[in-house]
Chain A
Amino acid sequence: MNLFYDTLFNGLAIGSVLVLAALGLAVVFGLMGVINMAHGELMMLGAYTTFVVQNVFKAVLPESVFPIYILVAIPFAFLVSGLAGLLLEKTVVRRLYGRPLETLLATWGVSLILQQFVRSVSSAFAIGLLLAVAIGLFLPRLLVRVQLAPRWAGLKGTISWISAGLVGIGVASLLGEERSLDQPWFSARNLDVTAPSWLRGSIELGGVTMPTARLFIIALTILALWGVTWFLQKSVWGIRIRAVTQNRSMSDCLGIPTETVDALTFLIGSGLAGVAGVAVTLLGSVGPNLGGNYIVDCFMVVVLGGVGKLLGTVLAALGIGVISYVVGSGSLLLIWPAMPAGLNELITFFATTSMAKVLVFALIVLFLQVRPAGLFPPKGRMVEA
């Protein structure tokens, strides 16, 4: 029985990380059909936000409030990743709706940009970037009065963005001469995010050791799921999002501002990625490559669960969690100690983490052969949307 609870808890623990990481993607991919390869990097931004919040707490606030920094980091991470996602939607994704392949490539590019951004951002860099964006946005307004020859007029935007970029690079290089401004904020190194002491221990309950960090993540996952479900089912904007998902043109005709809905959906999905980023700092490393470690698992969960269904996502994640735990830890041998020798060897063979992963992928491939649309395939009119 002990073994049963142990397996249940650990499966739930692994699964809840997957749910949390994949939840934002389920919203973006599931509801909007956008393949967002930068989802992992939005998680990374959440993790970096946690790092910044931690350091602010360390530097400014009294030590007694330090333990709650992780709770404060959650809304901040949601905001930072959400706004980054919003920017991504406004600048890139919006122009590529209905072109999944281009979206995939463009967001992949964005993910590389974000990785390199956190590696090399310094004060000089940030000032140059802000300046360039500001000039790029405002120069066209100043140029309104300037009359250009007709065949150059269309290039006004391009010209101002190019000159903005040049000014940005120039300013950044000039400021970069100053050593204090040239220091990278994070550099390419992994960052040290230390969980507060109450999340570093564990609780014994009925013979099962439950690390508090895992319990925290499970609680956070439940909270996030409840929040998303409530938002989609009960709130006005949630209902609009679902309406657009089911039938975009009809919703448009009925006066739902579909562009705002798209932006909002993307913001929420990205914000959830940020929250997942906070959670994974408790388990793993924080560095520019953080996103890459999760993105494949996220897609795996969403595809297995069935696109557009949160329940499918949850069940798929928990299923993967339990299976990879049972196989990877070799618990099957304990459940049935007297199993035949051949089977025993087979299970021992798969009982390492890397072989368990292979087996899980093989099982997913088999499952998708039987049910290509996942656990809960979209039905009815939604299919056409």
Chain B
Amino acid sequence: MLSAPLQKTSFRLLSGATALAASLSLVACGGEKKSEGGAFDGEVKVGILHSRSGTMAISENTVAEAELMAIDEINKAGGVLVDGKHLKIVPVEEDGASDWPTFAEKSKKLIDQDKVAVVFGGWTSASRKAMLPVYEAKDHFLYYPIQYEGQECSKNIFYSGATPNQQAEPAVQWLLKNKGKDFFLVGSDYVYPRTANTIMKEQLKAEGGKVVGEDYLPLGNTEVAPIIAKIKQALPKGGVIVNTLNGDSNVAFFKQMKAAGITPANGYSIMSFSIAEEEIAAIGPEYLEGTYAAWNFFQSLDTPASKKFTADFKAKYGEKRVTSDPAEAAYAMVYLWAKGAEKANSVDDNKVRDALVGVSFDAPEGKVTVEPNHHISKLVLIGEVQKDGMFKILENKGIVKPIAWNQFVPETKGYSCDWTQKRPDAGKFKM
């Protein structure tokens, strides 16, 4: 364990040096990254910028691991083929440290010093909002792998996670149709849950549901007794609870809800947007059994591509590990970028950006395509947590196109984003 950080440091130091030195240090890192015969004609550096320490490390480690796995696979298959040359992808890892200004600072470092072709990074919306001005000012290029609240469409960011119409909206429709009209919204107190709940409230208004209450917990708070009392007042006989809590609060929420009798057995349908296989393992499946989640990928998705992804991930990182939606989205986005570079026949960020729109990849979830609004068409799934911590897929809504500007919210209704159009307001214009 002690040796790992040392190797990482030495790797970082060297990767800034010559190609020879960099490849040598890669060999020193365990030898498994060596390609067959070393038939590369050059290399291309990419940044991996996730929190490897701090509160968010639990979640972001997996995402970084999935990205590194995709890079390994591409390298083993001969790297990125650009201009007749096989380029080896060399990851430059940086730690965002769960601190949003650090994300911006490290982005600058990756762009200016390491001269990376692209940065894969971020998890929380707060970290993305902190990085966005850096990429826009330097006209560089970030790939962001997490489902988020939408209401953003940057020329310099590609979003490979779900927009609300690929996660929250179909989930709410499903709940309205199958589970009831009275909704209670619980979330962490920051930008994603607040925006997601604003969208949901508008949607419920439009589609005949009713919000009977909402509450927000500060990040990391573990005392949920007041929320439970409010839920009991608002929904004495059961109803729908939509949970957008993030991080540790989820554990407290589910443990205390169960103790207070707010359970699926007593008529409460609980839908979460931040609970994937990874989180279930940490919270304990017995607290979550029978609750719902909406994602674009579940480990239980029964397709050859999904099974292969999970098997490869376990082979690389351990039998006990699980795959999840964020890991899958992160894995797919590395491939999408590589395909974009091959299509552009260049790793230059401006050329790849133009070439990326329309690129498809057979991801573990199915065929995903980069749309003109820099988001990705994705498979929409709704699942129920089982005893073993996996999801039973209850509904498969098929591939859904992303909508960046939400059509339920009055302020953004009628707006669209299309970066293939040559207009100054391509990021947000009235349709």
Q: Which of B66-74, B140-148, B250-258, B423-431 contacts A (4 or more CB under 8 A)?
A: B250-258
In the complex, the answer to whether A200 meets B259 with C-beta atoms within 8 Å is: yes
In the complex, the answer to whether B1 meets A120 with C-beta atoms within 8 Å is: yes
Number of residue pairs across A and B with beta carbons under 8 Å?
143
Contacts of B4 in A (CB 8 A): 176, 182
Contacts of B61 in A (CB 8 A): 188
In the complex, the answer to whether A190 meets B58 with C-beta atoms within 8 Å is: yes
Report if A287-B248 is in contact (Cβ < 8 Å); known contacts: A14-B223, A172-B1, A212-B259. Answer: yes
Q: Does B284 contact A (CB under 8 A)?
A: yes
In the complex, the answer to whether B3 meets A13 with C-beta atoms within 8 Å is: no
A interface SS class: helix
Q: Which of B83-91, B225-233, B269-277 contacts A (4 or more CB under 8 A)?
A: B225-233
In the complex, the answer to whether A283 meets B222 with C-beta atoms within 8 Å is: yes
In the complex, the answer to whether A354 meets B225 with C-beta atoms within 8 Å is: no
Closest to A358 in B: B218
Nearest-CB distance from B63 to chain A (Å)? 14
Q: How does the 8 Å CB contact mask read for B4-32 relative to A, with 1 for contact and 0 for none?
A: 10100000000000000000000000000
Q: Does B311 contact A (CB under 8 A)?
A: no
Task: Please measure, in the bound complex, the distance between the C-alpha atom of A334 and the C-alpha atom of B233, giving whole angstroms.
Answer: 10
Task: Please measure, in the bound complex, the distance between the C-alpha atom of A169 and the C-alpha atom of B2, giving whole angstroms.
Answer: 7
Q: Which of A191-199, A229-237, A337-345 contacts B (4 or more CB under 8 A)?
A: A191-199
Nearest-CB distance from A370 to chain B (Å)? 26
Report if A289-B220 is in contact (Cβ < 8 Å); known contacts: A194-B284, A201-B259, A331-B229. Answer: yes
Closest to A18 in B: B223
Find A122's partner among B1, B259, B283 (CB 8 Å cutoff). Answer: B1
Size bin of chain A's contact surface: 35 or more
B interface SS class: helix
Closest to A172 in B: B2
Closest to B389 in A: A192
Contacts of A353 in B (CB 8 A): 215-218, 221, 223-224, 226-227
Report if A184-B220 is in contact (Cβ < 8 Å); known contacts: A212-B259, A283-B255. Answer: no
Contacts of A351 in B (CB 8 A): 230
In the complex, the answer to whether B2 meets A173 with C-beta atoms within 8 Å is: yes
Contacts of A190 in B (CB 8 A): 58, 248, 251, 282-283
Contacts of B221 in A (CB 8 A): 293, 353-354, 357
30 residue pairs A–B, Cβ–Cβ below 8 Å: A6-B229, A120-B1, A121-B1, A176-B2, A182-B1, A188-B58, A190-B248, A190-B282, A190-B283, A192-B283, A192-B284, A194-B286, A194-B287, A195-B255, A200-B258, A211-B256, A213-B259, A283-B256, A285-B250, A285-B251, A285-B283, A287-B282, A293-B221, A327-B226, A329-B229, A329-B233, A334-B233, A352-B189, A353-B221, A357-B218
Report which B residues bind A (CB closer than 8 A): 1-4, 6, 55, 57-58, 61, 189, 214-218, 220-227, 229-230, 232-233, 248, 250-252, 255-256, 258-261, 281-284, 286-287
